[in-house]
């Protein structure tokens, strides 16, 4: 629409500038909040450069607001320049948002890797203990015939078999505390998946086995297996 009065043009331009200044102020507020959230992880120099550019935009808006534009040509030129600045500010905001998402995703991935590494190390330790106990059991077997030769009464043999440790048919991950209570975390043999790890407390039986947890302290877990006690060392 062609305006015949310079005064009307000035009023329209001023109104556009006020609305535009409000939009830029809102964008500036959103970017400032985003800058505070990313202060610990994002590149500080990039955020500082973004804030400096926004400050320059505010200064230019103040300069434009103080000028007297009375012609349609000047009005259209100023409107186009301000539109370009809005597009640039929106592009900066989009870039900052994408950077924030990438940082949050990287932080989550790092946390999961640390947790998986800890679980894998615990599983390796448990497998090593089980393999060591299996190696020791055959070495203890030859001592039984010697005991029979030296001691005629065979009454003491059952006590030796009761004391012999039995390898659990599951993997012991470790001890966890929930609300001040101890729980034993276990998983199927050879499993390293987080969704297969579950917690049991004293009195609970391990699913699919006849192993029932009786007591749990800081270093060992005592089970009842078909009426026979079994103690499993828990790796810290």
pLDDT digits (tens, 9 = 90+) for 24-79: 888 888 888 777 776 655 566 776 788 898 888 888 877 766 665 557 787 788 88
- How far apart, in whole angstroms, are the C-alpha atoms of residue 230 and residue 166? 7
DSSP 39: T
User: Tokens 């400096």 appear where?
Assistant: 52
pLDDT digits (tens, 9 = 90+) for 197-229: 889 999 999 988 899 999 988 789 999 998 999
The pLDDT mean for the chain works out to 75
Mean pLDDT over 129-146 rounds to 54
Asked if pLDDT for residue 98 goes beyond 90, the answer is no
Contact by Cβ (8 Å): 230, 223: yes
Three-class SS state of 166: coil
Q: Can you give the pLDDT at residue 137?
A: 52
Q: Can you give the pLDDT at residue 222?
A: 93
Contact by Cβ (8 Å): 216, 172: no
Residue 8 or 56, more confident: 56
- How far apart, in whole angstroms, are the C-alpha atoms of residue 100 and residue 172? 38
Q: Can you give the pLDDT at residue 203?
A: 92
Q: Can you give the pLDDT at residue 159?
A: 46
Among 22-36, 83-97, 99-113, the least confident range: 99-113
Domains and CATH numbers, the chain: 73-133 (no CATH), 171-233 (2.30.30)
Segments in the chain forming alpha helices (H): 6-37, 44-66, 72-140, 143-150, 157-163
Q: Can you give the pLDDT at residue 224?
A: 94
Percentage of the residues of the chain whose pLDDT score is greater than 90: 11
Would you state the structure tokens that stand for residue 114, as one six-digit string? 């640390």
Asked if pLDDT for residue 182 goes beyond 50, the answer is yes
DSSP 187: E
- How far apart, in whole angstroms, are the C-alpha atoms of residue 218 and residue 220? 6
The most confident of the ranges 73-87, 148-162, 168-182 is 168-182
Among 36-45, 116-125, 146-155, 160-169, the least confident range: 146-155
Centre a 10 Å sphere on the Cβ of residue 229 and count the other Cβ atoms it contains: 12
């Amino acid at each position: 629409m062609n305006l015949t009065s310079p005064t009307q043009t000035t009023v329209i331009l001023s109104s556009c500038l006020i609305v535009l200044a409000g939009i830029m102020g809102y964008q500036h507020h959103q970017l400032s909040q985003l800058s505070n959230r990313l202060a610990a992880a994002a590149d500080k120099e990039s955020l500082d450069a973004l804030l400096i550019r926004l400050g320059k935009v505010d200064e230019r808006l103040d300069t434009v607001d103080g000028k007297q534009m009375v012609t349609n040509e000047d009005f259209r030129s100023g409107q186009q320049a301000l539109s370009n600045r809005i597009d640039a500010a929106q592009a900066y905001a989009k870039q900052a948002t994408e950077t924030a998402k990438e940082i949050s995703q990287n932080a989550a991935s790092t946390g999961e890797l640390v947790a998986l590494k800890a679980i894998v190390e615990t599983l390796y330790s448990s497998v090593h203990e089980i393999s060591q106990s299996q190696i020791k059991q055959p070495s203890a077997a030859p001592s039984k015939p010697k005991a029979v030769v030296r001691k005629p009464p065979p009454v003491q043999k059952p006590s030796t078999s009761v004391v012999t440790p039995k390898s659990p048919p599951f993997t012991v991950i470790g001890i966890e505390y929930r609300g001040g209570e101890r729980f034993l975390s276990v998983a199927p043999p050879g499993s390293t998946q987080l969704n297969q790890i579950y917690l049991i407390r004293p009195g609970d039986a391990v699913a699919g086995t006849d192993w029932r947890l009786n007591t749990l302290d800081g270093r060992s877990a005592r089970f009842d297996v078909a009426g026979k006690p079994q103690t499993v060392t828990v790796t810290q």
